A and B are shown apart, each in its own frame.
Chain A
């Protein structure tokens, strides 16, 4: 047992301060992304989520240009982007993809400018790598409380929105009939999405943060039809991907003689991808085993994936 653990977890893992910071920040962003991600998937807003990662890219690279920490830009510009997307029509299903695409393109353009300026006018060599693909082992430990605070804020926001958000997600007509302020719910949810994306950008980079937002949630929604369970399951999968990813990146230091360790972002995204792949057969197996036992009641969240549940009320 002791030998097995030592083989699995290289010496110094728990005492390493970069690892501890990575576990806290990665874990926090994984849970927030998973929770927000479940609603994102159910509302069919994955594309909007991805656009927010690009806004976040621009924000992070802009923040470096101003000499601020990337987290400021990741989250700050993400929230501004959420507002812009709402203002130019992300609410209406028909205009949604257009508005999202326009914001996405503009953000990447800005990011290209900021990253160019970062590398030519300021002494920030790793800017592109850091913003796009993350550098979780180089984050200052002082950033951890900020991340935990923002993560709690996002979770509280989702908690407050929970009832109306669920209603507007699964039954938009009913939500309107019951007087749910659709637009307000939509805007606040997009802000929660921006927070989640901002935190994940810090963990695995802005470009890859969609993976943490969508991946664990998509796998969870395939596996369970109950919203509570899918939130728990998505959080568990996200946490597992992050923490095992950090462990593998740490261990990879000893995989070759020259101690070239591999990037943590790769491991996290690869794990998320394999979880999603595995969730397909697992869901089929589960459906077969309790297949005839009971016809699933028309619960609120019975659709296995986002494609089957396009809600116009986003």
Chain B
């Protein structure tokens, strides 16, 4: 009884009903493609006309993290359309999983800027899956660092972004030789705009030599180093928190002692990636009067450029050390 009913419905599917279903499916498919195209356009990637569009004068570029996309658009100006893959301040870039839409975005780009050092390994997978011929800038390689560099947060290193910007200008000039002078000018303007940041770091080094700090993750470690600060948190603990594994009880106690015993003047807290343990440490710091400074994995948006973000971090650390004031959000 049951079986024959199923049989009838299956037969019915073979008739006009099935054709109708197929029609509906292909309509849905077309709608999906349209939606994807629309989504892509609003994200600023001209993939529908990839190839042809570049010759008309606009290069499609992708920055794996939004700080790189930001500098890409500063250097490329009106001749580049830069999209960022990672820009959600509520997700951890370390655990990002790419989607078909991201793969599409990346594979249609002519210039790609990524961090490397294992931070955005998903980019390598997408790139190796699609055609070659694009220009890929890996910041880790520009700095001559090995693939297993322990701290991948390279953009906090004052050497990193000038090198990346120079490579961007070179690649853009190669793609659009007619506008090489324009890109050179933008590069010069970018380098000049980093001056206030450099000066702020130098002033801090002079005014507050070897300030002791504690951190949850090695996010801003390169910056702390450039500012002449002394990060007392063992790197092992920072790496455990970064990698999402349990730190040892000895290291947890050590970190708590740094905060409770006022052994540090500032606590750099990864505002973007938090868990119960780091939140409790933040609470400890607040209770015991150690100023907290929020640091971020990707550029906080809106309202910041790479330069203003870095300058704001230095200003926040300075405020913590000299005024004992926390900056819990940029």
Bound pair (A, B): yes
- Residues of A participating in the B interface, judged by any CB pair closer than 8 Å: 12, 16-19, 22, 69, 116, 119-130, 135-140, 249-250, 253, 258-261, 263-264
Given A129-B244, A258-B236: A138 touches B252 (CB 8 Å cut-off): yes
B250 near A250: Cβ-Cβ < 8 Å: yes
7 pairs from A and B in contact (CB 8 Å cutoff): A22-B249, A136-B246, A140-B280, A249-B248, A250-B249, A258-B236, A259-B236
B250 near A253: Cβ-Cβ < 8 Å: yes
- Give the distance to chain A from B120, nearest Cβ to Cβ, in Å: 15
- Give the distance to chain A from B85, nearest Cβ to Cβ, in Å: 13
B276 near A125: Cβ-Cβ < 8 Å: no
CA distance A124 to B91 in the complex (A): 8
- Judged by a CB distance under 8 angstroms, whether B275 is at the interface is yes
| Complex contacts, A125 vs chain B, CB 8 Å | 92, 94-95, 241-244, 273, 275
B92 near A124: Cβ-Cβ < 8 Å: yes
CA distance A136 to B276 in the complex (A): 12
- Give the distance to chain B from A242, nearest Cβ to Cβ, in Å: 15
- Judged by a CB distance under 8 angstroms, whether B253 is at the interface is yes
A126 near B275: Cβ-Cβ < 8 Å: yes
- Judged by a CB distance under 8 angstroms, whether B274 is at the interface is yes
| Complex contacts, A264 vs chain B, CB 8 Å | 246
B275 near A116: Cβ-Cβ < 8 Å: no
A-B contact count (CB 8 A): 97
CA distance A138 to B245 in the complex (A): 10
A16 near B253: Cβ-Cβ < 8 Å: yes
| Complex contacts, B234 vs chain A, CB 8 Å | 259
| Complex contacts, B92 vs chain A, CB 8 Å | 119, 123-125
B211-253 contact mask (Cβ, 8 Å, vs A): 1 or 0: 0000000000000000000000010100001111111111111
Identify whether the interface residues of A are mostly helix, strand, loop, or mixed.
Answer: helix
CA distance A17 to B272 in the complex (A): 27
CA distance A212 to B256 in the complex (A): 31
- Judged by a CB distance under 8 angstroms, whether B56 is at the interface is no
Most chain B beta-carbon contacts within 10 A, residue among A127, A128, A135 = A135
| Complex contacts, B91 vs chain A, CB 8 Å | 119-123
| Complex contacts, B245 vs chain A, CB 8 Å | 126, 129, 263
CA distance A22 to B277 in the complex (A): 14
| Complex contacts, A22 vs chain B, CB 8 Å | 249
In-complex Cβ contact of A19 among B94, B246, B249 (8 A)? B249
CA distance A140 to B279 in the complex (A): 10
- Judged by a CB distance under 8 angstroms, whether B97 is at the interface is yes
B97 near A123: Cβ-Cβ < 8 Å: no
A119 near B97: Cβ-Cβ < 8 Å: yes
A138 near B275: Cβ-Cβ < 8 Å: yes
Interface residues in B78-113 by Cβ distance below 8 A to A read 88, 90-92, 94-97
| Complex contacts, A249 vs chain B, CB 8 Å | 248-249
B245-286 contact mask (Cβ, 8 Å, vs A): 1 or 0: 111111111001000000000000000111111001000000
- Return the chain B residue nearest A250 by Cβ: B249
Given A121-B91, A122-B91, A123-B274: A116 touches B249 (CB 8 Å cut-off): no
- Give the distance to chain A from B237, nearest Cβ to Cβ, in Å: 10
Given A12-B253, A125-B273: A137 touches B248 (CB 8 Å cut-off): yes
